[in-house]
Amino acid sequence: NNTVDNAVENWQGCPQIVDAAQLLRDGEVVAFPTETVYGLGANALSDDAVEKIFLAKGRPADNPLIVHVADEAQLQTVAEAVSDKARRLMEAFWPGPLTLILPKTDRVASLVTAGLNTVGVRMPDHPAALALIRQAGVPVAAPSANRSGRPSPTTAAHVLTDLDGRIAGVLDGGPTGVGVESTVIDVTVEPPIILRPGGVTREQLEAVIGPVELDPAFSAGSAETPRSPGMKYAHYAPEGEMWLVEGEEPRVREKMNGMLAEAKRRGLRTGVLASAETASYWQAHPEADVVLSVGSRAEPGEVAQRLYAVLRQFDERQVQFIVGETFPRSGLGMAVMNRLEKAAGGRILSV
């Protein structure tokens, strides 16, 4: 596609890209924008470089990283084999928010895969990311560029809040578009299984390759250990204690009212994570100190895009107790609700 190529070429000439690519070749870590969230990149073929990612983030060593590629040759460098279904998914969704779990080659640094014999690979749909990876000339391992446990960064400012002084630099490409991370799908098993819901929906995947399963650990109340190592960790959490209330109106509103009153009695600064539909009601509420809307219930894409910035704003405004609404789980809503449930540490009340 010509427009994409031009955008990549425009970035490629930029001094910031040239400098960042040089840092990657020198074995340093650099944060960069993708279409989902900002990533913290290092040369995926070097254990010394990749170790710096784990140190900067405070990331547990058993949690593997996604490798970002800009072309077919880089894919071949890290993936041993690409099945027919994997190839069809790449054709349909790359560049884009889809990570494929594939058999790895022995060129991938062992820290990247945390000792597994598979590697997660994706081609990001962002001209700055593609220009950077091309210019670096190596596949780039990159988790989200947040301190481990924090909401993922959707702006360069979020990256600096978490990692300033711990990384060589951040390439600023403005706010990210999708807002939640890529979908992770394991295509080494049959049927393929979604390990993490994300920017590409289950419906979209099934339209291309037929039935795909969902990691059973995602179903409500499941005690199963997630198959993706990263999914077992607490994540995305704001500093305040967060609760979600799920059910039908007006019971949700009544329950949230009671919880806010109780939190105020405990002397806490309160916040409400609202939708565009309910924001004005909560803004007029005397016991809601900070009310933030993540967008319309009818627009899961909008909610995904704003979610992490809103979670971070509760911290910036020193909110100690947050109560949030839930959102429809269809389409991108599945990823949104997965992140919200993790942000709330599983504290969900059904009314």
Binding-site residue positions for L-threonine? 36, 68, 122, 142, 182
Among residues 143, 153, 238, 301, which is the contact residue for ligand TXA, using CB under 6 A?
143
* Residue 17 vs 101, nearer CB to ligand TXA: 101
Among residues 43, 74, 113, 148, which is the contact residue for ligand TXA, using CB under 6 A?
113
* Residue 104 vs 150, nearer CB to Mg ion: 150
Q: Which residues contact 335 (CB under 8 A, 6 or more apart)?
A: 180, 181, 183, 197, 198, 199, 201, 304
Tokens 């990247």 locate to 112
Binding site for Mg ion (CB under 5 A): 144
Candidates 62-70, 236-244, 259-267, 328-336; binding stretch for ligand TXA (CB under 6 A): 62-70
Residues 213-242 close enough to bind ligand TXA by CB under 6 A: 228-231
Query: Under the criterion CB under 6 A, does residue 125 sit at the interface with ligand TXA?
Result: no
CA 326 to chain centre: 19
Number of neighbours of residue 246 by Cβ within 10 angstroms: 18
Q: How far is the CB of 272 from ligand TXA (least distance, A)?
A: 27
Query: Under the criterion CB under 6 A, does residue 135 sit at the interface with ligand TXA?
Result: no
Q: How far is the CB of 314 from ligand TXA (least distance, A)?
A: 21
* Residue 123 vs 245, nearer CB to ligand TXA: 123
Query: Under the criterion CB under 6 A, does residue 278 sit at the interface with ligand TXA?
Result: no
Q: How far is the CB of 153 from ligand TXA (least distance, A)?
A: 9
Residues 239-258 close enough to bind ligand TXA by CB under 6 A: none
Distances (CA, A) of 80 to 41, 88, 199: 22, 17, 25
Q: How far is the CB of 340 from ligand TXA (least distance, A)?
A: 16
Query: Under the criterion CB under 6 A, does residue 158 sit at the interface with ligand TXA?
Result: no
Query: Under the criterion CB under 6 A, does residue 36 sit at the interface with ligand TXA?
Result: yes
- Is residue 98 within 8 Å of 183, Cβ to Cβ? yes
Query: Under the criterion CB under 6 A, does residue 155 sit at the interface with ligand TXA?
Result: no
Q: Nearest 5°: CA angle at 71, between 3 and 31?
A: 85
Number of neighbours of residue 350 by Cβ within 10 angstroms: 12
* Residue 119 vs 274, nearer CB to Mg ion: 119
Among residues 184, 310, 335, 340, which is the contact residue for ligand TXA, using CB under 6 A?
184
Q: How far is the CB of 130 from ligand TXA (least distance, A)?
A: 12
Number of neighbours of residue 349 by Cβ within 10 angstroms: 16
Which DSSP helix (H) or strand (E) runs through 159? helix 156-163
Q: Nearest 5°: CA angle at 91, between 204 and 180?
A: 50
Q: Is the peptide bond before 250 cis (omega within 30 degrees of 0)?
A: yes
Residue 214 DSSP SS3: strand
Please provide the size of the chain in residues.
Answer: 351
Structure tokens at 242: 């967060």
Q: Quote the DSSP letter at residue 25.
A: H
Residues 185-214 close enough to bind ligand TXA by CB under 6 A: 195-196
Instruction: State how far the Cα of 132 lies from the Cα of 123, in Å rounded to an integer.
Output: 12
Instruction: Pick what 182 binds: Mg ion, ligand TXA, none; C-beta below 5 to 8 Å, kind-dependent.
Output: ligand TXA
Query: Under the criterion CB under 6 A, does residue 127 sit at the interface with ligand TXA?
Result: no
Candidates 60-68, 82-90, 164-172, 341-349; binding stretch for ligand TXA (CB under 6 A): 60-68
Q: Which residue has the closest beta carbon to ligand TXA?
A: 230
Residue 293 DSSP SS3: strand
Instruction: State how far the Cα of 74 lies from the Cα of 181, in Å rounded to an integer.
Output: 21
Instruction: State how far the Cα of 195 lies from the Cα of 209, in Å rounded to an integer.
Output: 16
Distances (CA, A) of 183 to 194, 233, 286: 7, 17, 40
Size of the site for ligand TXA (CB under 6 A): 29
Query: Under the criterion CB under 6 A, does residue 37 sit at the interface with ligand TXA?
Result: yes
Which residues form the interface with ligand TXA (CB under 6 A)?
34, 36-37, 39, 63-66, 97, 99, 101, 113, 116, 118-120, 124, 142-144, 181-182, 184, 195-196, 228-231
